[in-house]
Amino acid sequence: MSLPELHTNGSTAPRSLAAENFAQCPLPITGHDTVQLGHGSGGKMTGDLISKLFLWAFENPVLARLDDSAVVSLGDSRLAISTDSFVVDPIFFPGGDIGELAVYGTVNDVAMSGALPVYISLAFILEEGLPLADLKRIVESIRRAAARANVTVVTGDTKVLNHGKGDKIFINTTGIGILEHDYDLSSRNLRPGDQLILSGGLAEHGMAILSRREGLEFETPIRSDTAPLIDLAQITLDVGGDDVRAMRDATRGGLAAVANEFAVASGIGIRLYESEIPVKPPVAGACEFLGFDPLHVANEGKMVVAAAGERAAEILEAIRKHPLGADAAIIGAVTSENAGMVSMQTRIGGWRIVDMMVGEQLPRIC
């Protein structure tokens, strides 16, 4: 199998028109000849890259599900596998650091498939000149996070780049978990009548990172919500069982990306209710200040559960009993109308589409 030739055209108007000629071709990856920051945003540009390049190249039924973890069978066991790379700047931020993020980010992806994470791998790409004290602090943080998540680091790798060729430290982790039940959790499983539960306030990780990175000080400091979601996922399954359709942690791309992925993968419509979506006041204020929509901002300790409508209240009640789910709420419903689309009733009663971001969210001018 050979990759088709990349479509190259620099100018905006002709390239989008010319794109029609490539309707049968997995490329072009819309409108750019080179990788852009937006390709890593978790929004439409990322989706474009995945569907038009990666899926095309590696097509197989497990990958095609595009869930947070791959669920595979090995002998008599069903395993969940997930991998993630962490390139956050700054590496230490209010509420966490890149080390615990690398553990929780991956174990959460495993947990969202309903598996109990057991092992993780740990690969470091270090930049020459990184203070060893910082590395030690990060490793200590990883040790604590792994203990809290009850996972063991069983393999790893270390590479060092020349000074200036990396950004202090990149971490890749792969997690493996065991599924002890037969539930089929997938973003393809949603049905009309299901309801969506969000486990707590949105946008805390993204705004904590941004405020530290840009030296923005808000009256109430915003802390990242980085946390392991394993217990919440297990509680959800214990109560909901087969009536839980899918679980997702709302990381890059935020709630909007998760809801859109659900809507597209299941071919259903999703209605959200703005007045029901929890956002803590300081976070809402910071988003307002910068012109960011909290629905699109990254979270590292929040999950979205799609469950049968008649069981949602019961599951919500159980989630709320856990400290990480105290602010959980039912935020939306699944419909047969507007398939593939997410709409939201605004606080004042209007309706609008909730789209995925194209690329990075950008602070506005005024």
Q: Which is nearer to other proteins, 327 or 360 (CB)?
A: 360
List, in order, residues 6 or more apart from 139 with CB less than 8 Å away.
99
Residue whose CB is less far from other proteins, 146 or 354: 354
Stretch that binds other proteins, among 53-61, 239-247, 317-325, 337-345 (CB under 8 A): 337-345
Scan residues 344-363 and list those touching other proteins (CB under 8 A).
346-353, 355, 358-360, 362-363
**In whole angstroms, how close is the CB of 342 to other proteins at the nearest point?**
11
Number of residues engaging other proteins in binding (CB under 8 A): 52
Sheet holding 116-127, edge to edge: 70-74, 77-86, 169-179, 116-127, 152-161
Strand blocks (E) in 100-234: 116-127, 152-161, 169-179, 195-198
Q: Show contacts with other proteins in window 121-150 (CB under 8 A).
A: none
Q: Is 191 in the site for other proteins (CB under 8 A)?
A: no
Please choose, out of 137-145, 240-248, 298-306, 332-340, the segment that lies near other proteins by the rule CB under 8 A.
Answer: 332-340
Cβ contact 210:298 at 8 Å? no
Q: Which member of 1, 23, 37, 74 binds other proteins (CB under 8 A)?
A: 37
* Sheet with 329-335: strands ordered across: 244-249, 303-307, 195-198, 329-335, 269-273, 342-345, 351-353
Specify the amino acid at residue 262.
Answer: F
Task: List, in sequence order, every beta strand (DSSP E) within 87-151.
Answer: 92-93, 96-97, 116-127
Task: Decide if residue 36 touches other proteins (CB under 8 A).
Answer: yes
Strands 329-335 and 269-273 turn out to be antiparallel
What 8-state DSSP symbol labels residue 41? S
By CB under 8 A, name the binding residues for other proteins.
Answer: 10-13, 15-17, 19, 30-32, 34-38, 44-45, 48, 214, 216, 269, 271, 275, 281, 284-285, 288, 290-291, 335, 337-338, 341, 343, 346-353, 355, 358-360, 362-366
